[in-house]
């Protein structure tokens, strides 16, 4: 997959299938667009391009709040998901006030036509230009609009997934995503209390602007050095030890070694329990053994 920046010099010398959208999380609803794009691309023997934005368009329209920078996927993971969904050209365009001022016809002329699209694939709620119209087919290209994707609870959306993650309902989030929600971080030194309890943990610093699951203990898988290991993780404040700083700590089963400075990817699978303030070390260790048993026996 080739990653490009949209500018006035961008020019494609081949006809393409163009997919439009922001795609935070690239969830099952989004994946339906790419399923259709791949079918059309196969029939017409064309490549697939995506025009998207590095940040949420709402940053251009609404009063800024720091949480507006949070995403469901890191930039790296998002690029990987585009590639997995068959994208050949991934094109980023900053969503600026000037860009938003265009009418739909100007958007078609100034933006869409740069891709020489034979077919443009959009979601049912994708609007273009300052007049907020749905893109329509023209003499130059055909528009295919994918209808809303829903389950028994309603529309599959990034908003629902964010709410599930922030509530700790990781099973629900993963079902809507179509893959396991993940967080990557660098292993740093902590208080080493887990080692003293017989459960050494990797303390992670999360550098990406991603939504963290709610405070609690979770079954997880950990990707390290290309291998996948089962474990459990806690997100919280170390209440038993009167901690005040939010931490992400991961215990990897059947693993030993010094991994400080390494990057780990945590795949969140299910919530085991809420955080508890224990009255002593013995009760904490007993609970951790119960957590381990649940995590080891977890079946997706």
pLDDT band of residue 192 (cuts 50, 70, 90) is low
Question: Which pLDDT score, from 0 to 100, does residue 279 have?
Answer: 76
As its CATH architecture, domain 168-296 has Beta Barrel (2.40)
- Cβ-based burial of 123 (10 A; exposed 0-12, middle 13-18, buried ≥19): buried
Matching fold, domains 2-155 and 168-296 = no
Q: What is the mean pLDDT of the chain?
A: 91
In the predicted structure, residue 149 carries a pLDDT above the cut 50: yes
Fold of 2-155: Rossmann fold (3.40.50)
Domain-wise residue ranges, the chain: 2-155, 168-296
User: What span, in angstroms and rounded, lies between the C-alpha atoms of 156 and 146?
Assistant: 13
Q: What pTM did the predictor assign?
A: 0.90
Q: Provide the 3-class DSSP secondary structure of residue 36.
A: helix
Per residue in 75-110, pLDDT (tens digit) is 999 999 999 999 999 999 999 999 999 999 999 999
Q: Is 118 within 8 Å of 47 (Cβ atoms)?
A: no
Per residue in 112-127, pLDDT (tens digit) is 999 999 999 999 989 8
57-61, 238-242, 279-283, range with greatest mean pLDDT = 57-61
Of the residues 55, 62, 152, 249, which is catalytic?
249
In the predicted structure, residue 45 carries a pLDDT above the cut 90: yes
249 in active site: yes
Question: Which pLDDT score, from 0 to 100, does residue 244 have?
Answer: 46
């Amino acid at each position: 997959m080739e990653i490009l920046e949209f500018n006035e010099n961008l020019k494609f010398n081949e006809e393409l299938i163009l997919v439009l959208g922001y795609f935070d999380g690239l969830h099952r609803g989004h994946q339906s667009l790419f399923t259709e794009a791949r079918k059309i691309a196969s029939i017409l023997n064309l490549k697939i391009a995506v025009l998207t934005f590095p940040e949420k368009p709402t940053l251009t329209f609404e009063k800024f709040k720091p949480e507006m920078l949070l995403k469901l996927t890191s930039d790296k993971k998002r690029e990987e998901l585009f590639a997995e969904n068959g994208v050949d050209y991934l094109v980023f365009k900053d969503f600026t006030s000037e860009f938003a001022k265009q009418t739909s016809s100007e958007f078609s002329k100034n933006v869409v036509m740069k891709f020489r699209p034979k077919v443009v694939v959009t979601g049912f709620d994708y609007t273009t230009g300052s007049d907020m119209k749905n893109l329509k087919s023209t003499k130059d290209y055909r528009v295919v609009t994918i209808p809303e994707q829903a389950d028994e609870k309603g529309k599959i959306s990034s908003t629902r997934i964010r709410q599930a993650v922030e509530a700790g309902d990781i099973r629900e989030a993963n079902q809507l995503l179509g893959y396991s929600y993940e967080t990557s971080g660098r292993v740093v030194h902590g208080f080493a209390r887990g080692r003293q309890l017989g459960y050494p943990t990797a303390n992670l610093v999360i550098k990406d602007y991603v939504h963290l699951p709610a405070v609690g203990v979770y079954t997880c898988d950990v990707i390290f050095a290309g291998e996948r290991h089962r474990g459990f993780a806690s997100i919280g404040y170390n209440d038993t030890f009167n901690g005040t700083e939010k931490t992400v700590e991961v215990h990897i089963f059947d693993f030993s070694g010094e991994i400080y400075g390494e990057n780990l990817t945590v795949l969140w699978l299910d919530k085991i329990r809420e955080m508890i303030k224990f009255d002593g070390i013995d009760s904490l260790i007993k609970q951790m053994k119960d957590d381990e048993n649940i995590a080891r026996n977890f079946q997706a």
